[in-house]
C-alpha cells in the first residue's frame, strides 16, 4: 500500500504540473501504470476522487488506460456518489466501461447501472440494459426521478421499469414526481411524466410510511388551481380514493385546509371536486374535527378577498349534509370554533361575521348545547366579550341574532354563571353593558338567579370595578326594577347592602357607593339585617377600618334610615367596641364617626362578651398603643368621658379601666396621660382592688419595664391622688414589699430604686410583713446575688428604722435568711456586686441577733457551719464566720439535735477528705473556744465525725517533702482530735496509734 501511495503522489504531482493533457505526460502515466495491478489502478482512481484530483482521471482517459475488476468491487464511481462528485461520472465510465460493478457493503448496495441512471446519458443507460442488466435492479427509476433526468425516466419506463417501486420512506415514483410539481415550464414535463407513470400502471392509492397517498403530495404543492384540478381529475379517473385517511387521521378533505398558500377560491373548487367523487363531508380526524370545524376555525385567515368563497364553501358543505352539531374531542362544535376567534374574524367586517353566524344558525345549530370547554354557549361567550370590549357595538347585533335563534339567556356555564354574570365579568358601567342588559332582561334573563359562589347579580356587581358611575347606578336600578331581590343573602349571609358596606370599608374611592346606598334603601333594604357573623351593615361598614369621609356619609345615611346604633353582634360587641378595635388611617373622620354614633344614642357603657365597656377596652388598647395612634386614643378617652362613660365599671375579670391601662409590661407616656384624664376628668377609683387582690400601685409595679420617667410620674400621680402606699395584695405584700421582690431579681433595678425611694419618702411601712411573715428586708434577699441596688436599699431601710431582729413565719432571722440565700452564690459569683459578708457585717452592726435560733434550733453560726459542710463554699463564708464570732456568737450552742457548730461542720463530709475551708473554719472555732469534748443527742463526740483516716487522707494529698506551716497546723489539729478520740469510751481505736506516729514523723 505504501508503494501505491508513493505512486499516487508522483502521478498527482505530474498531473498538476501538466494540466494541458500533453502526450509526454500521457506516456508517463502509461509507463508508470503498465505494471500496476487492476486493483491498484482502481485504488489510485479512488484516491483521485477523494482528493478531487480530476486531472489524474483525465490522464487515465487520455492514455486510454482501462480498469477491469471483479463484479463485486467498490470502484471510484461508488466513491464519487458518496462524495457527491457525479461530475466525474463521464470520465470514470470511460475507464470502467459498461460493466455493472456492485458494492458489497450490506448497508449500501449500489451499482454502476444505478449511477448511469443518475446521469442524463440515455445511451449509457441503454448500453447497460443491452448488456443484460435488469432494468429494476437497485430501483434506478427512483434515482432518475430524484435528479429530474426526464429522458432517462422516459426510457426506463419504456424499458419496463417498475412504476410502483418504493424508497426508504415508502414513496413511489408517482409520489416523488408530485413532490417536484410546480407551475411554470417544468409543469408540462412533470405532467408528461405523471401520465407515463399512470400509463405504466402506477398505483394512485399507494401510501408512504405516513399513510399519505399521491393525492396528498399533490395537494401539498403550490400549484395554481387549474393545474392542480387538471392533475387531480386524472388521478380520480384512475381510481384515486378520496375517502382515504392517513396515519394522522387526516382525509383529503382535511388536507385541503392545510395546503400551502391556500386560497378560498381554490378550497371551494377542491372541496366541490372531492365531494363530487364521494368524499365524506363529515369525516373526522384524530381530534374529531370535521371539514366544517376546520373552515370555521380558519375564517380569521381569509386572504385576497375570499370572503364570498368561504361562505360558498360552508354552503357547499351544508348542501352535502355537513353536521353543524358534531362535537370534537375538546367538546367543541363548529360554532364554538368560530366563536373562539370571533374578535379576529371581525377584522373582516361586521357584515361578514353576521352573515356567517346566521348561515350556521339557519342550518340547524343546537345553539343551547353547543358549549365550549368552559361550559359556555355562544351567548355566554358573547356576553363575556361584551363585558370586556366596551367599544365594539357590533356585539350587540350579534346578541340580537343569537336571541333571534332562541339562545337561552339563563343557561349556566361550568362556573355557575349565566349571561348576566358573564356580561359583568370584571367591570360594570359601560354603555354597551347597559344596552345589552336591557336586551337580556327583555328576553327573560333571571335577575334572582344565584351562582355557585352563592351570589345574586346584585352581590356580584358590588364586587366589580365601576367604569362609569352613571351607568353603574342605572344598571343597578334597572335590575331592582325588574325584580332583583334586595334582601337576598350570599354565602356569608349578607344582603346587598351588607356586602356594599364591606366593600366600602376597604375601598377609599367610593363616591358611587353613596348613591348605591340610596338606591338600595329606596328599594326597602333592611339596614339592620345581620350576616352569619351577626354583623349588621353598620358593623361591616367599618370592617377594615379605613375611616374615610364616604364611610361617615354612609353611616349618616344608615342612621337616617333607621340603623340601630345599639346593636351588638354575635361576639357581643357594639359598634363602639368594633371601632376601638380598629386601626384608624384617618383620625379626623374616625372622631366624627364616633361622635355621630354617640350623638345618635350609641350606648357608651355597653359591654362585650368579656364584660368590657368601650372605655375599658380603650384603656387596654392604650397599654400598648403605638405612637401614631396614641394621641387619637387619648382624645377618644376624653370623648367617652364627655358622654358620661363609667370609668370604674369592671369587666368579667373584675378589672376596671385603670387596671386595664397597665395590663401590659412597660409604662409609656400615653398611659400616664390617660391616667391623668381618668383621675381629673373621670373621677376614677384609685382604691379599686382587682380579682387578684392587687391595688393599682401593685399593678403599676408589676408593669414597670424601662421608661424611668413615665413609671415614676405614674407612681407619684397615683400616690398624690390617694393611692394607699401600704395596701396589701393577695400575698399580703405592700408595694414596697413587691418592689423588693423585683429588686432581688436584678431587672430594671435603677428604676425600681427610684420608686423605692419615692415610697419611703411618703412613709410606707418598711416593717410590714407579707403572708409568709417576711418583711420587705427579707424579700430584698431571697436566693439571689446581691447588687448595689439591694445594698443601697438595705442601707435606706436601716436608716429608716427597719427591724433587723424580726423573725419570719419560718422562724428565720434576717441572718439565717441571708446565709440560706448565700448557698447559691457560687453559681452567680461573676454577677455579684456586693460581698455577702459585708451585708452580714452591716446587719450585725445594726443590731441583728447573732444568737437567734431558727426552727431547727440553729444559730446563724451553726447554720453557716452546716452550709460549709454541705457544699463547696468560698472565702466570704470564713469572713462571715469571723464577723459572727466577733459579735459574740456562741461557738458551742447546740441545735435541736444537740450538734454544736463543729459537729455541723463535719457531719456530712466526704470520708476520704476534708475541704480546706472546713479546716480553716475548724481552726477558727478551736481558736475561739470550741469544745471538742461535747456530746450530741446521739451520744457522739466530734471524734465520731473526724475519723483520723479522713484527716490523714487529706494530709497524704499534700507533698510530703514540703510540709509547710499550713500543713503543720493540720497536724496539730489532728493530734488534738486524735487525743480526744482516745479518751472516748466504748470506741475501737483501730490504727489510731499508727496515725499518730505517721503525723508525728511529719511534724
**Model pLDDT, residue 951:** 53
Determine how many CB atoms are found less than 10 A away from the CB of residue 507.
14
Secondary structure of 378-423 as H, E, C letters? HHHHHHHHHHHCCCCCHHHHHHHHHHHCCCCCCCCCCCCCCHHHHH
Instruction: Provide φ and ψ at 973, rounded to 5°.
Output: -60, -40
Query: pLDDT (tens digit, 9 = 90+) per residue, 256-314?
Result: 988 777 788 888 999 999 999 999 999 999 999 999 999 998 888 887 677 888 899 99
Query: pLDDT (tens digit, 9 = 90+) per residue, 597-633?
Result: 999 999 999 999 999 999 999 988 888 766 567 888 8
Euclidean distance between CA atoms 417 and 445, whole angstroms: 12
**Model pLDDT, residue 546:** 59
Q: Which residue has the higher pLDDT, 505 or 283?
A: 283
- Lowest mean pLDDT segment, chosen from 2-11, 716-725, 780-789: 780-789
DSSP string, 442-510: HTT--TT---TTS--HHHHHHTSEES-HHHHHHHHHHHHHTT--TT---TTS--HHHHHHHHHHH-S--
**Model pLDDT, residue 988:** 38
Name which of 871, 914, 920, 863 is nearest 889 in CA terms. Answer: 863
pLDDT score of 987 more than 60: no
**Model pLDDT, residue 877:** 85
* Per-residue confidence band for 990, with pLDDT thresholds at 50, 70 and 90: very low
Reduced to 3 states, what is the DSSP secondary structure of residue 994?
helix
* Per-residue confidence band for 319, with pLDDT thresholds at 50, 70 and 90: very high
Q: What is the mean pLDDT of residues 544-568?
A: 85
Residue 731, class by beta-carbon neighbours within 10 Å (0-12 exposed, 13-18 middle, 19+ buried)? middle
**Model pLDDT, residue 944:** 67
Determine how many CB atoms are found less than 10 A away from the CB of residue 122.
17
Q: Which residue has the higher pLDDT, 774 or 374?
A: 774
Query: pLDDT (tens digit, 9 = 90+) per residue, 795-822?
Result: 888 998 899 999 999 999 999 998 887 6
pLDDT score of 469 more than 90: no
Q: Which residue has the higher pLDDT, 125 or 831?
A: 125
- Lowest mean pLDDT segment, chosen from 76-85, 223-232, 765-774: 76-85
**Model pLDDT, residue 967:** 47
Euclidean distance between CA atoms 802 and 824, whole angstroms: 25
From residue 86, how far is each of 65, 78, 117, 324 by CA, in Å? 20, 10, 11, 57
Q: Which residue has the higher pLDDT, 398 or 968?
A: 398
Q: What is the mean pLDDT of residues 111-121?
A: 84
Euclidean distance between CA atoms 502 and 498, whole angstroms: 6
* Per-residue confidence band for 471, with pLDDT thresholds at 50, 70 and 90: confident
**Model pLDDT, residue 583:** 67
From residue 818, how far is each of 243, 710, 797, 833 by CA, in Å? 111, 34, 16, 15
Say which DSSP state 427 is in: E
C-alpha cell read off for 120: 442524463
With b meaning 16 or more CB within 10 Å and e meaning fewer, what string describes 53-84?
A: bbbbbbbbbbbebebeeeeebbbbbbbbbeee
pLDDT score of 887 more than 90: yes
Query: pLDDT (tens digit, 9 = 90+) per residue, 644-681?
Result: 999 999 999 888 898 888 887 778 788 888 888 888 88
**843 close to 814: Cβ distance less than 8 angstroms:** yes
Q: Which residue in the block uniquely carries the three cell numbers 499550713?
A: 966
Q: Which residue in the block uniquely carries the three cell numbers 449509457?
A: 124
Euclidean distance between CA atoms 335 and 306, whole angstroms: 20
pLDDT score of 830 more than 50: no
- Lowest mean pLDDT segment, chosen from 222-236, 557-571, 670-684: 670-684
Query: pLDDT (tens digit, 9 = 90+) per residue, 41-74?
Result: 889 888 988 888 888 889 898 888 998 889 888 8
Q: What is the mean pLDDT of residues 81-107?
A: 82
Euclidean distance between CA atoms 811 and 807, whole angstroms: 5
**566 close to 574: Cβ distance less than 8 angstroms:** yes
pLDDT score of 986 more than 50: no
DSSP string, 733-775: --HHHHHHHHHHHTSSHHHHHHHHHHHHHTT--TT---TTS--
Percent of the chain with pLDDT over 90: 32
Q: Which residue in the block uniquely carries the three cell numbers 487529706?
A: 954
Query: pLDDT (tens digit, 9 = 90+) per residue, 3-40?
Result: 888 888 888 888 888 888 888 888 899 888 888 998 99
Q: If residue 167 lies in a helix (H) or strand (E), which one and from where to where?
A: none
Q: What is the mean pLDDT of residues 332-341?
A: 86
**768 close to 734: Cβ distance less than 8 angstroms:** yes
Euclidean distance between CA atoms 77 and 152, whole angstroms: 19
- Of the spans 70-74, 740-744, 914-918, which averages the highest pLDDT? 70-74
**61 close to 93: Cβ distance less than 8 angstroms:** no
Task: Collect all residues with Cβ–Cβ distance below 8 Å to 757 and sequence separation of at least 6.
Answer: 796
pLDDT score of 709 more than 80: no
**Model pLDDT, residue 834:** 82
**Model pLDDT, residue 1002:** 46
Query: pLDDT (tens digit, 9 = 90+) per residue, 171-206?
Result: 999 999 998 888 877 888 889 889 999 999 999 999
* Per-residue confidence band for 991, with pLDDT thresholds at 50, 70 and 90: very low
Instruction: Provide φ and ψ at 988, rounded to 5°.
Output: -70, 130
Mean pLDDT of the residues in the chain: 84
From residue 591, how far is each of 563, 569, 584, 596, 901 by CA, in Å? 19, 22, 10, 8, 75
Query: pLDDT (tens digit, 9 = 90+) per residue, 237-260?
Result: 999 999 999 998 999 999 998 877
* Per-residue confidence band for 965, with pLDDT thresholds at 50, 70 and 90: very low
Q: What is the mean pLDDT of residues 531-554?
A: 84
**490 close to 456: Cβ distance less than 8 angstroms:** yes
Give this prediction's pTM.
0.64
CA 798 to chain CA centroid, Å, is: 64
Query: pLDDT (tens digit, 9 = 90+) per residue, 847-872?
Result: 999 999 999 999 999 999 988 876 55
From residue 109, how far is each of 81, 130, 676 by CA, in Å? 12, 22, 111
pLDDT score of 169 more than 60: yes
Instruction: Answer left, alpha or beta for residue 729, where phi above 0 means left and psi between -120 and 50 means alpha.
Output: beta
Q: What is the mean pLDDT of residues 419-435?
A: 89
Q: Which residue in the block uniquely carries the three cell numbers 353593558?
A: 433
Euclidean distance between CA atoms 772 and 809, whole angstroms: 6
Vertex 950 angle, CA 948 and 954, to 5°: 115
Q: What is the mean pLDDT of residues 892-911?
A: 82
Helices 965-982, 992-1002: axis angle to 10 degrees equals 160
Instruction: Provide φ and ψ at 466, rounded to 5°.
Output: -115, 110
Instruction: Provide φ and ψ at 568, rounded to 5°.
Output: -120, 145
The full set of domains in the chain, from first to last, is 2-158 (1.25.40)
Amino acid at each position: 500500500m505504501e508503494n501505491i501511495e508513493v505512486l499516487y503522489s508522483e502521478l498527482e504531482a505530474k498531473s498538476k504540473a501538466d494540466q494541458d493533457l500533453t502526450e509526454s505526460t500521457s506516456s508517463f502515466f502509461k509507463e508508470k501504470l503498465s505494471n500496476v495491478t487492476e486493483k491498484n489502478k482502481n485504488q489510485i482512481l479512488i484516491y483521485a476522487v477523494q482528493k478531487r484530483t480530476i486531472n489524474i482521471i483525465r490522464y487515465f482517459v487520455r492514455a486510454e488506460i482501462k480498469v477491469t475488476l471483479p463484479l463485486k468491487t467498490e470502484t471510484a464511481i461508488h466513491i464519487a456518489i458518496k462524495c457527491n462528485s457525479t461530475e466525474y461520472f463521464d470520465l470514470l465510465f470511460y475507464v470502467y466501461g459498461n460493466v455493472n460493478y456492485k458494492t458489497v457493503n450490506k448497508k449500501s448496495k449500489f451499482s454502476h447501472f444505478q449511477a448511469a441512471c443518475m446521469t442524463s446519458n440515455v445511451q449509457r443507460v441503454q448500453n447497460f440494459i443491452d448488456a443484460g442488466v435488469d432494468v429494476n435492479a437497485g430501483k434506478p427509476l427512483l434515482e432518475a426521478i430524484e435528479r429530474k433526468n426526464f429522458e432517462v425516466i422516459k426510457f426506463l419506463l419504456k424499458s419496463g421499469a417498475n412504476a410502483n417501486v418504493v424508497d426508504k420512506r415508502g414513496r413511489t415514483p408517482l409520489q416523488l414526481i408530485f413532490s417536484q410539481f410546480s407551475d411554470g415550464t417544468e409543469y408540462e414535463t412533470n405532467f408528461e411524466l405523471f401520465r407515463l407513470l399512470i400509463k405504466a400502471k402506477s398505483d394512485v392509492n399507494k401510501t408512504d410510511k405516513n399513510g399519505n397517498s399521491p393525492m396528498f403530495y399533490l395537494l401539498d404543492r403550490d400549484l395554481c388551481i387549474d393545474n392542480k384540478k387538471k392533475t387531480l381529475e386524472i388521478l380520480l379517473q384512475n381510481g384515486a380514493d378520496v375517502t382515504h385517511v392517513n396515519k394522522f387521521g387526516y382525509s383529503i378533505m382535511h388536507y385541503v385546509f392545510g395546503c400551502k398558500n391556500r386560497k378560498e377560491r381554490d378550497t371551494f373548487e377542491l372541496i366541490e371536486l372531492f365531494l363530487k367523487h364521494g368524499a365524506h363531508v363529515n369525516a373526522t380526524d384524530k381530534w374529531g374535527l370535521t371539514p366544517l370545524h376546520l373552515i370555521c376555525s380558519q375564517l380569521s385567515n381569509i386572504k385576497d378577498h375570499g370572503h364570498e368563497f368561504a361562505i360558498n364553501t360552508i354552503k357547499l358543505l351544508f348542501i352535502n349534509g355537513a353536521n353543524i352539531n358534531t362535537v370534537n374531542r375538546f367538546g367543541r362544535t363548529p360554532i364554538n370554533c368560530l366563536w373562539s376567534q370571533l374578535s379576529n374574524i371581525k377584522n373582516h367586517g361586521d357584515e361578514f361575521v353576521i352573515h356567517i353566524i346566521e348561515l350556521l344558525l339557519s342550518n340547524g345549530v343546537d345553539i343551547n348545547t353547543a358549549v365550549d370547554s368552559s361550559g359556555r354557549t355562544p351567548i355566554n361567550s358573547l356576553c363575556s366579550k361584551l363585558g370586556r370590549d366596551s367599544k365594539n357595538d357590533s356585539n350587540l347585533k350579534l346578541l340580537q341574532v343569537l336571541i333571534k335563534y332562541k339562545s337561552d339567556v339563563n343557561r349556566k356555564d361550568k362556573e355557575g354563571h349565566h349571561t348576566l354574570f358573564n356580561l359583568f365579568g370584571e367591570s360594570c358601567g359601560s354603555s354597551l353593558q347597559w344596552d345589552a342588559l336591557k336586551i337580556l332582561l327583555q328576553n327573560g334573563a333571571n335577575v334572582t338567579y344565584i351562582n355557585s359562589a352563592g351570589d345574586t347579580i346584585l352581590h356580584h356587581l358590588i364586587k366589580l370595578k365601576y367604569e362609569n358611575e352613571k351607568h353603574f347606578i342605572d344598571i343597578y336600578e334597572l335590575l331592582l326594577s325588574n325584580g332583583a331581590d334586595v334582601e337576598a343573602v350570599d354565602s356569608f349571609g349578607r344582603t346587598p347592602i351588607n356586602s356594599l358596606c364591606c366593600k366600602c370599608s376597604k375601598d377609599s374611592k367610593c363616591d358611587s357607593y353613596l348613591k348605591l346606598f340610596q338606591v338600595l334603601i329606596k328599594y326597602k333594604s333592611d339596614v339592620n339585617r345581620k350576616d352569619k357573623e351577626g354583623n349588621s351593615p353598620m358593623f361591616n361598614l367599618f370592617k377594615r377600618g379605613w375611616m374615610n369621609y364616604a364611610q361617615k356619609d354612609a353611616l349618616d345615611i344608615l342612621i337616617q334610615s333607621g340603623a340601630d346604633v345599639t346593636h351588638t353582634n354575635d361576639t357581643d360587641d357594639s359598634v363602639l367596641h368594633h371601632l376601638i378595635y380598629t386601626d384608624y388611617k384617618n383620625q379626623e373622620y374616625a372622631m366624627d364617626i364616633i361622635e355621630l354614633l354617640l350623638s345618635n344614642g350609641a350606648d357608651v357603657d355597653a359591654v362585650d362578651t368579656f364584660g368590657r365597656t368601650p372605655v375599658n377596652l380603650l384603656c387596654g388598647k392604650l397599654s400598648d398603643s403605638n405612637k401614631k395612634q396614641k394621641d387619637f386614643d387619648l382624645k377618644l378617652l376624653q370623648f367617652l368621658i364627655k358622654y358620661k362613660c363609667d370609668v370604674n365599671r369592671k369587666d368579667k375579670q373584675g378589672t376596671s379601666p385603670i387596671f386595664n391601662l397597665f395590663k401590659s409590661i412597660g409604662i409609656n407616656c400615653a398611659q400616664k396621660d390617660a391616667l391623668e384624664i381618668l383621675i381629673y376628668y373621670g373621677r376614677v377609683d384609685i382604691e379599686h382592688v382587682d380579682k387578684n387582690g392587687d391595688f393599682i400601685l401593685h399593678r403599676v409595679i408589676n408593669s414597670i419595664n424601662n421608661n424611668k420617667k413615665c413609671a415614676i410620674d405614674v407612681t407619684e400621680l397615683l400616690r398624690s391622688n390617694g393611692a394607699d402606699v401600704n395596701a396589701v395584695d393577695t400575698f399580703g405584700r405592700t408595694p414596697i414589699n413587691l418592689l423588693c421582690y423585683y429588686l432581688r431579681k436584678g431587672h430594671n433595678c435603677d428604676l425600681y430604686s427610684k420608686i423605692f425611694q419615692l415610697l419611703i419618702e411618703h412613709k410606707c411601712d418598711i416593717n410590714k410583713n407579707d403572708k409568709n411573715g417576711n418583711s420587705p428586708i427579707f424579700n430584698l434577699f431571697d436566693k439571689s446575688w446581691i447588687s448595689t441596688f439591694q445594698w443601697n436599699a438595705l442601707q435606706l431601710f436601716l436608716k429608716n428604722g427597719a427591724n433587723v431582729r424580726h423573725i419570719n413565719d419560718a422562724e428565720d432571722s434576717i441572718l439565717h435568711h441571708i446565709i440560706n440565700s448565700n448557698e447559691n452564690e457560687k453559681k452567680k459569683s461573676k454577677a455579684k456586686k456586693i460581698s455577702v459578708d459585708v451585708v452580714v457585717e452591716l446587719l450585725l452592726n445594726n443590731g441583728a441577733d447573732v444568737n437567734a435560733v431558727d426552727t431547727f434550733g440553729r444559730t446563724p453560726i451553726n447554720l453557716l457551719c452546716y452550709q460549709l459542710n454541705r457544699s463547696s463554699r468560698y472565702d466570704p463564708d470564713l469572713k462571715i464566720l469571723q464577723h459572727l464570732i466577733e459579735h459574740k456568737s456562741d461557738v458551742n450552742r447546740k441545735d435541736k439535735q444537740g450538734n454544736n457548730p463543729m459537729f455541723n461542720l463535719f457531719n456530712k463530709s466526704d470520708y476520704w477528705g476534708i475541704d480546706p475551708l472546713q479546716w480553716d473554719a475548724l481552726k477558727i472555732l478551736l481558736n475561739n473556744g470550741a469544745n471538742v469534748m461535747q456530746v450530741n443527742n446521739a451520744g457522739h463526740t466530734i471524734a465520731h465525725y473526724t475519723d483520723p483516716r479522713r484527716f490523714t487522707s487529706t494530709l497524704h494529698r499534700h507533698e510530703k517533702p514540703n510540709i509547710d506551716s499550713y500543713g503543720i497546723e493540720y497536724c496539730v489539729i489532728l493530734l488534738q482530735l486524735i487525743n480526744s478520740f482516745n479518751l472516748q469510751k466504748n470506741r475501737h481505736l483501730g490504727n489510731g496509734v499508727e496515725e499518730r506516729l505517721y503525723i508525728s514523723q511529719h511534724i
